[in-house]
Amino acid sequence: MKFLRSVLALCANFRNYRAIRDVSIWRSLRYLLLLIFPVTLLTLLALLPSALNRVENLADWIDHHLPAFSIKDGHVTSAAPQPYRSDTENFAFILDTTGATTQPDTNVLQGLLLQSDGFVFWIGNTNSSTPVLRTQHSSLHGFPDGNVNGDYCRQLFRSFLWVGTPVVGLMLGGIALVIILGHAITFAGFSAIMERSAVRALNFRQLLNIAIYAATPATLVSAAFIALELESVNLWWLYLIVYGLYLIGGVAASREPAPVDVTGSDDSA
């Protein structure tokens, strides 16, 4: 509850940043960890219904467009005439276990070439002189044995869900943590130099604390927009605008006399 009160206070009023100005850096880092990883995990959970819907659409597409084939011990077997090809407007699926087809079709924006013991996924760019931007070659070892159809796709996603969601959450949370700390340290370093001539100068530690806590509103707003899948919004600019607003407001308010501590702790120094 104290943590939630801190989050709400930091979003509600710039003056509350004065209360965290002089806390220890370790306390600020602990707060950031408590903020980032739960928010990242909750955002992933909020995206699950959309992900499940997309998996269901993919499963239906597989049932209607792909030939019968199976995977066993990391190898593909199929009785369908090959090479087999199924195309949509921007995607091509090619099945060829004979080895006749070894390269992606650069005339298609993206696609998947399934071979006897692996697959090649490619992404092309029609606006570039070099048609293929990236190709990813992967082995089928580790994929479960079975007939590849819609049910296989659904089961594969469910199997990944329980293990993959926490792992992806930790990875994305770690990336967010590095980005926020990078912004905070950069801001505190440059601002500490400029503060030398200020009447009520703030030191590096105080500026770093403010910069870390000021990431709270920007992180919550960005997470909400991601969860709502508002693709028309530039999340990077949105994050920077909100973060910059609270940085400026927090620094300005931190020059005032200290209010009551909103973080529920008497840790200072």
Same domain, residue pair 45 and 102: no
Same domain, residue pair 139 and 175: no
- Structural domain harbouring 94: 69-148
Indicate whether 33 belongs to any domain: yes
Indicate whether 135 belongs to any domain: yes
Residues paired with 138 in a beta bridge? 119
Q: Give pTM, 2 decimals.
A: 0.72
Indicate whether 258 belongs to any domain: no
Amino acid 266: pLDDT? 45
Same domain, residue pair 195 and 133: no
Same domain, residue pair 171 and 40: yes
- Per residue in 6-25, pLDDT tens? 999 999 999 999 999 999 99
Same domain, residue pair 120 and 45: no
pLDDT above 90 as % of the chain:
37
* DSSP three-state, residue 145: coil
Indicate whether 185 belongs to any domain: yes
Domain count, the chain: 2
Amino acid 230: pLDDT? 79
- Separation between Cα atoms, residue 151 and residue 158, nearest integer Å: 11
Indicate whether 264 belongs to any domain: no
Decide which of 208 and 164 is more confident. 208
Decide which of 260 and 269 is more confident. 260
Strands 110-114 and 91-95, bridge-based pairing: parallel
Distance of CA 115 to the CA centre of its chain: 31
Q: Which of 148, 180, 215 is the last residue of a domain?
A: 148
Q: Which of 105, 125, 148 is the last residue of a domain?
A: 148
Indicate whether 103 belongs to any domain: yes
Same domain, residue pair 137 and 214: no
- Separation between Cα atoms, residue 144 and residue 73, nearest integer Å: 8
Same domain, residue pair 121 and 73: yes
Same domain, residue pair 83 and 15: no
- Separation between Cα atoms, residue 234 and residue 39, nearest integer Å: 19
Same domain, residue pair 166 and 248: yes
Indicate whether 209 belongs to any domain: yes
Same domain, residue pair 190 and 226: yes
Indicate whether 28 belongs to any domain: yes
**Tally of CB atoms within 10 A around 53:** 10
Amino acid 268: pLDDT? 40
Same domain, residue pair 244 and 114: no
**Whether residue 2 has pLDDT greater than 50:** yes
What value does the mean pLDDT of the chain take?
85
Decide which of 264 and 40 is more confident. 40
